């Protein structure tokens, strides 16, 4: 689990051109314990061809940078790999490459034919100072800097910068207006990159009016305090470890959730407290949530976690896409999506109600659910650790 004092939250959002099935802008994010790599590419034109060009660009760049390839080799490979468009005789996709070094917050940004980035520092928009460099005959803009706590960096495609121009004939949307939109949204707090990105894309959508005239993407990076979550679910296989597992949970620095009736009782007994349930959260297929001192939420186990898994998959990684309902599965999914790193303390004691005790633990329902939830969260760029108890 990362102990870095700053977490670099990355959130992309796109609008697809009217009449197209796929977006010609593509974003790929890679995160390790030491660095974050984000690439935004805008393929020539729109639709399937543009999406292929952009996807190839992002995949090549991230793959090579992960392997430590120098920038010139990365650019050479991209330019030499992109297929040529028969109609225009071009192999073309713009790109912006952002790399952040976690230990000190240093970043470098390389862009080819992409709109200028917006930096929010002290909630005020700034233009980045860039220098030009030519690699493989392509003019690039490069810059370096430091992302400190509370800083927000926004990257965009042309469709965002020029939203509505030539469609609604509205000349009043550009870099300055995007910066002002971000600054206004930041006045209400810098809680998440998602909220700031949503503000820009909501305005972008309105600028296009009835018809989105171009693929539009905005990617935000927010430097903020990391959000950590521990989920204790299922009694340990060895009952003598109950107290040690509860202590492990209570020592955790971050939010704490307990999933499972028996697991909740173990924690309540250790604390000498009684679980109080909130019946207003009960649904036909999802039991109510409860609360205890020192624990943020208690839910039922298998049924709630199974529904949570479905909600996570449907959300695409965005908490804003969860249903507007206050039940155990939605509340658990929201906490998981709002966290940056998640620790599962997963007990392997077999519940005979859900599991044939003759089957090995490796095929237990709880183990399967925890594993699938962890895999889904990992795809959403979450840092996930499972400790089997």
Domains of the chain: 7-224 (3.60.40.10), 228-388 (3.40.50)
Residues whose CB is less than 8 angstroms from the CB of residue 206 and which lie 6 or more positions away in sequence, other chains included: none
Does the pLDDT of residue 350 top 90, yes or no?
A: no
Average pLDDT of span 366-372: 94
Residues 327 and 159: their CA atoms lie apart, in Å, by: 38
**pLDDT recorded at residue 45:** 85
**CB count, 10 Å around CB of 144?**
13
Residues 226 and 8: their CA atoms lie apart, in Å, by: 8
Pair of tokens at residue 32: 């390790």
Q: How far apart are the first and last CA of the chain?
A: 18
Instruction: With CA atoms as reference, report the closest residue to 82 among 51, 107, 103.
Output: 51
**pLDDT recorded at residue 354:** 52
Could you tell me the pLDDT band of residue 363, with boundaries at 50, 70 and 90?
Answer: very low
Residues 205 and 216: their CA atoms lie apart, in Å, by: 9
**pLDDT recorded at residue 356:** 53
* pLDDT tens per residue, range 226-276: 999 999 999 998 999 999 999 999 999 999 999 999 999 999 999 999 999
What average pLDDT does the chain have?
91
pTM of the predicted model, to two decimals? Answer: 0.82
Percent of the chain with pLDDT over 90: 79
**pLDDT recorded at residue 352:** 58
Could you tell me the pLDDT band of residue 170, with boundaries at 50, 70 and 90?
Answer: low
Instruction: With CA atoms as reference, report the closest residue to 222 among 9, 39, 6.
Output: 9
């Amino acid at each position: 689990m990362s102990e870095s004092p700053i977490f670099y939250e990355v959130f992309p959002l796109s609008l697809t051109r009217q009449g197209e099935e796929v977006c010609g802008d593509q974003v790929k994010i890679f995160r390790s314990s030491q660095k974050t790599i984000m690439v935004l590419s805008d393929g020539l034109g729109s639709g399937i061809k543009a999406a292929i060009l952009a996807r190839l660009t992002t995949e090549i760049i991230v793959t090579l940078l992960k392997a430590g390839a120098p920038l010139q080799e990365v650019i050479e490979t991209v330019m030499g790999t992109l297929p040529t468009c028969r109609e225009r005789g071009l192999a073309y996709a713009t790109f912006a490459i952002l790399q952040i070094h976690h230990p000190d917050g240093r970043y470098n940004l390389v862009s080819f034919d992409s709109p200028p980035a917006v930096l929010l520092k002290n909630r005020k928009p700034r233009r980045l100072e860039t220098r030009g460099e030519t690699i493989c005959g392509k003019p690039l803009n490069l810059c370096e800097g430091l992302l400190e706590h509370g800083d927000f960096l926004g990257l965009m495609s042309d469709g965002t910068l020029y939203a509505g121009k030539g469609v609604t004939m509205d000349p009043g949307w550009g870099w300055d207006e995007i910066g002002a939109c971000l600054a206004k949204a930041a006045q209400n707090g810098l809680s998440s990159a998602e909220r700031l990105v949503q503000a820009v894309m909501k305005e972008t959508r309105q600028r296009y009016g009835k018809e989105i005239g171009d693929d539009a993407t905005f990617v935000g990076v927010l430097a903020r305090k990391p959000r950590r979550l521990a989920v204790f679910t299922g009694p340990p296989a060895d009952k003598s470890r109950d107290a040690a597992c509860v202590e492990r949970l209570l020592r955790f620095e971050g939010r704490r959730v307990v999933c499972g009736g028996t697991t909740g009782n173990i924690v309540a007994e250790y604390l000498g407290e009684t679980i109080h349930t909130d019946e207003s959260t009960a649904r036909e297929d999802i039991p109510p949530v409860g609360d205890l001192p020192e624990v943020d939420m208690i839910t039922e186990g298998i049924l709630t976690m199974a529904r949570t898994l479905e909600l996570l998959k449907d959300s695409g990684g965005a908490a804003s896409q969860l249903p507007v309902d206050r039940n155990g599965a939605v509340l658990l999914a929201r906490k998981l999506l709002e966290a940056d790193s998640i620790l599962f303390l997963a007990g392997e004691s077999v519940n005979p109600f859900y599991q044939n005790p003759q089957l090995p633990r490796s095929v237990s329902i709880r183990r399967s659910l925890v594993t699938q939830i962890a895999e889904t969260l990992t795809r959403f760029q979450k840092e996930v650790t499972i400790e089997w108890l």
